[in-house]
A and B are shown apart, each in its own frame.
Chain A
Amino acid sequence: MIEIRLHGRGGQGAVTSAELIAIAAINQGKYAQAFPSFGPERRGAPVQAFARISDSRIRTREKIYNPDVILVLDSSLPKIVKVTAGLKEGGIAILNSHYSEEELRKILGDYKGKLAIVDATKIALEELGVPITNTTMLGAFIKATGLVEPSFMESALKERFGRLADKNIKALYRALEETKIYG
């Protein structure tokens, strides 16, 4: 079972991203869960969302303490939140950032583990016209983990966003191309 923690800011669609990961995985025939961090949420404040993917039935209602994957939607978060907290050894941190690998590792407190970086804000601004990176970062997620097939994510996006889906799908595929993986 793979556990995923998403970091974003209230209103950026972290919960939607977690849900889309689960929907795509389930439609692909896997088992999955997605859930928000339960409680009041405020626009702009750091928020988390969670997902689990497994080949067998998922049988737990615990929170996620030691994720295998962290997905950070907002490039300003690593400076104010320890986004890699609890990340499993051998796990991967996937970040939206315009920083280089070296700079980002330093910001993450000399983080030594696997890293995937994409400038999702830039892609989102170019493709969607708004700095909302949740669907773009799903492309980075697919590239870095291979946990869901792009085609299943594409249909999940179509179902969720209707006529707005095309732009989001384009952003997702760009991230799939542009995400760089280190270590």
Chain B
Amino acid sequence: MGKKIAKEVSIAVADAVAQCRVDVISAYPITPMTHIVEHLAELVNNGELDAEYIAVESEHAALSACIGASAAGARTFTSTAAQGLMFMYEMLYIASGFRLPIVMVIANRALSSPISIWNDHGDVMTMRDAGWIQTFAENGQEAVDLIYHAYKVAEKAFLPVAVNLDGFIVTHVVEPVELLDQEQVDKYLPPLRMKYKLDPKKPITIGAIGVPEIYTEARKAQDEALKASYKIVVQAWREFEKISGRRYNPIETYRMDDAEVALVLIGSLAETAMNAVDVLREKGKKVGLVRIRLWRPFPMQDFLKAIGKVKALCVFDRALSPGATGGPVGIEVRSALYQSNKRPKVLNIIGGLGGRDVTAEDFMELFDRTYSFLKARPRFSYEIYGVKE
């Protein structure tokens, strides 16, 4: 077993990608993911990683290169953020439609305009429907572990996986991280075997036209593959637990046992929020936290189980869907609840946009507001938190 070392999370993530023995890396650097691909380029250049680093002119080309390489049977990696993801957009659906096991790290960053290099989830939430498996890391350790996991899952489910790390507040922090030993990685991650691949000796067609007679069926097959990947995701975490001792679930809970009010969120703010939960628990308030680690496929049953018998939820979204009925997570949660017998009140808060700091005190205030929400009927479907008037 490896030992805890002090590393910038981006560097540790790149080291984990290298340990996965990727064959092809193609990326176009963009803040705040730059350190990840810089370090990979360095490893390739120094001969420490036997891979092809394809420098490209855009993110569209970066993912296209991965698609080509993956279709030919290579293990691939790319990374991006914000506008880079926007520029990659067209190819996101090709990657999932082709059922290619590409792994991408998104160092989550706010979208322009106005230009912001800082963290929120505006970028990744736009690819909600792109057919990728999507996970969110809470800290550096989880970021690294989700890399190993992503390859394991991608290559069993034959679907691309996006691992999300909060830009700067995860990617740029030096903290203790434990990497697996190379032998452990090799055992966890056998060489990639494609069911179908581009091979001049055995020609096949990938990406043919889908006429109306088959398009619906092709899409249904894709939907079913993504839903079925849930089991693969969980199984891969169980196997990972055996070698690392670290247990991961699609949904994590914190002090939810007898909770009557709970916060729901996604990403690294959960760490800060736990401190707020601890303070309020000390004061006798029955509050808890539900964190969504697996966003796609959405683990509905786990989520409904996790919320227990709460009377109210505060769903904290880090992306705005202008003119919608809520933030992306808020909409998802309300939709899941509508199909169940549970009907807690849902206060949907949009916050932490474009790098605005969210503190434990903010979460305490939001818990307070969720309590008062129990008495009053909601007059709005969502609210943007902390706006300076």
Contact = CB atoms under 8 A, between A and B. Distances in A.
Interface of A: 18-19, 22-23, 25-27, 31-36, 38-40, 58-63
Task: Pick the 4 closest A-B CB pairs, nearest first.
Answer: A26-B6, A38-B168, A23-B6, A34-B174
Interface in B249-295: 268-269, 271-272, 274-275
A61 B271 contact: yes
A26 B166 CA distance: 22
Interface stretch (B203-211, B234-242, B355-363): B355-363
Given A31-B176, A38-B118, A38-B168, A61 B272 contact: yes
B175 A62 contact: no
Nearest to B117: A39
B55 interface: no
B174 A38 contact: no
B172 interface: yes
Contacts of B359: 62-63
B361 to A, nearest CB: 9
Given A31-B176, A32-B175, A39-B117, A59 B274 contact: yes
Contacts of A22: 6, 174-175
Contact of A36 (B6, B172, B358, B360): B172
A18 B174 CA distance: 9
Contacts of A34: 173-175
Contacts of A23: 6, 174
Contacts of B272: 59-62
B172 A38 contact: yes
Nearest to A62: B359
Contacts of A60: 271-272, 275, 360
Nearest to B3: A27
B8 interface: yes
28 contacts: A19-B8, A22-B6, A23-B6, A23-B174, A25-B6, A26-B4, A26-B5, A26-B6, A26-B176, A27-B5, A31-B176, A32-B175, A38-B32, A38-B118, A38-B168, A38-B169, A39-B117, A39-B118, A39-B355, A40-B117, A59-B272, A59-B275, A60-B272, A60-B360, A61-B166, A61-B269, A62-B358, A63-B359
B6 A62 contact: no
Instruction: State the majority secondary structure of interface residues on A.
Output: mixed
A27 B175 contact: no
Given A23-B6, A61-B166, A35 B271 contact: no
A32 B126 CA distance: 34
B116 to A, nearest CB: 10
Interface of B: 4-6, 8, 32, 117-118, 166, 168-170, 172-176, 268-269, 271-272, 274-275, 355, 357-360
Contacts of B176: 26, 31-32
A59 B289 CA distance: 14
Nearest to A57: B176
A59 B271 contact: yes
B172 A33 contact: no
A19 B359 CA distance: 23
B118 A33 contact: no
Contacts of A19: 6, 8, 174
Given A38-B169, A59-B275, 14 more contacts: A19-B8, A19-B174, A22-B6, A27-B5, A27-B6, A32-B6, A32-B174, A34-B175, A35-B168, A35-B172, A35-B174, A38-B172, A62-B272, A62-B359
A32 B140 CA distance: 12
A23 B5 CA distance: 8
A62 B357 contact: yes
